[in-house]
Amino acid sequence: MEVFLNGHFIPEERALVSAFDRGFLYGDGLFETVRVAHGRCFRWEDHLERLARGAAFLKLPLPSALATWSGYADELLARNHVEEAVLRLILSRGPGTRGYSPRGADQPTLVMSLHPAPPGELQNPPRWRLATSSVRLPVADPLSQFKTCNKLPQILARAEADASGADEALLLDSEGRAGEGSASNLFWIQDDVVCTPPLAAGVLPGITRKVVLEICQSLALPCREAFTTPSRLHRAQGVFLTLSSLGVAEAVALDGIPLPQSNLTLKLTAAYNRMLLSSRDHLRY
């Protein structure tokens, strides 16, 4: 596999960054995970827009105009002869002197790499067992609105889920409300309404979260932002998670207790997959 690194396409074993890169030292960067279907990057503009908002917040310079990045992604797919994949894009602040001050670090690092698309999810959504994590999301954390490279809380949560035999962790906020998965947004169906926590609760503004809310609107399915707790999730009509690499994943159990299944999840999954496969929204940034 070839990797894009700062303007060059190189074999992945030679995709190396400086040990003085602030991404490596402090997680001083941002990333995106983009689904590639039929050779097209799904919701490319949305991903770049989120990355650009994060870069503005962190005052992290862009190494080149965003409009040129779609050409890099296209060439990466072509060189690797890949049509179905997950594209990971990382922007770090690049090498700097010792210390937290970003002063003088103005040579950002940009990496794009391709990873296998999850197998077989287009027919049926994956069925995930969830485990409530002991890791809490801080309320009102401004960094929660960006996909930063500071992911130790999510890594700890996911490792807990691994250890308990679950597929994904459910993180609560410091007030005990259900926030999001370690790498996914949370949805549930209550009184025939599709619900998800508001962004103000400190959850990531997921691109797939946004797409699912758009689908609900287009199908005239009632949806709203709301709060819930693990015990209320057990009484919901259905629970699912959204993430760009995979789309929609059905939650079949939480902390070892089965969750109710809803046909709505299958309907939303099918609509999402139709959109993914018919999308022509690639490379128009």
Binding residues vs a copy of itself (CB under 8 A): 3, 5, 12, 15-29, 31, 33, 58-59, 86, 88, 90, 92, 97-103, 111, 113, 115, 138-139, 141, 143, 148-159, 162, 174, 182-183, 245
Task: Report in angstroms how near the CB of residue 140 gets to a copy of itself at its nearest.
Answer: 8
CB 271, CB 215: distance < 8 Å: yes
**Closest to a copy of itself by CB, 17 or 226:** 17
**Closest to a copy of itself by CB, 82 or 226:** 82
Distances in whole angstroms, Cα of residue 240 to Cα of each of 84, 191, 254, 285: 23, 15, 11, 30
Task: Report in angstroms how near the CB of residue 270 gets to a copy of itself at its nearest.
Answer: 25
Task: Report in angstroms how near the CB of residue 37 gets to a copy of itself at its nearest.
Answer: 17
Please list, in sequence order, all residues whose beta carbon lies within 8 angstroms of the beta carbon of residue 141, skipping any fewer than 6 positions away.
202
Query: Among this protein's residues, is 33 annotated catalytic?
Result: yes
Task: Report in angstroms how near the CB of residue 280 gets to a copy of itself at its nearest.
Answer: 26
Of 147, 148, 160, 196, catalytic:
147
E-assigned strand segments in 102-258: 109-116, 127-137, 168-173, 178-181, 185-190, 193-196, 223-225, 238-243, 247-254, 257-258
The identity of residue 167, as a single letter, is: D
Please list, in sequence order, all residues whose beta carbon lies within 8 angstroms of the beta carbon of residue 235, skipping any fewer than 6 positions away.
none
**Closest to a copy of itself by CB, 104 or 120:** 104
Task: Report in angstroms how near the CB of residue 26 gets to a copy of itself at its nearest.
Answer: 4
Distances in whole angstroms, Cα of residue 277 to Cα of each of 9, 34, 81, 123, 284: 27, 14, 18, 12, 17
Task: Report in angstroms how near the CB of residue 214 gets to a copy of itself at its nearest.
Answer: 26
**Closest to a copy of itself by CB, 25 or 283:** 25
**Closest to a copy of itself by CB, 116 or 222:** 116
CA 194 – CA 166 distance, rounded (Å): 24
Structure tokens at 77: 């797919």
Residue 235, helix vs strand vs coil: coil
CA 42 – CA 107 distance, rounded (Å): 28
Of 32, 180, 242, 250, catalytic:
180
CB 180, CB 186: distance < 8 Å: yes
**Closest to a copy of itself by CB, 162 or 225:** 162
Query: Among this protein's residues, is 180 annotated catalytic?
Result: yes
Active site residues: 33, 147, 180
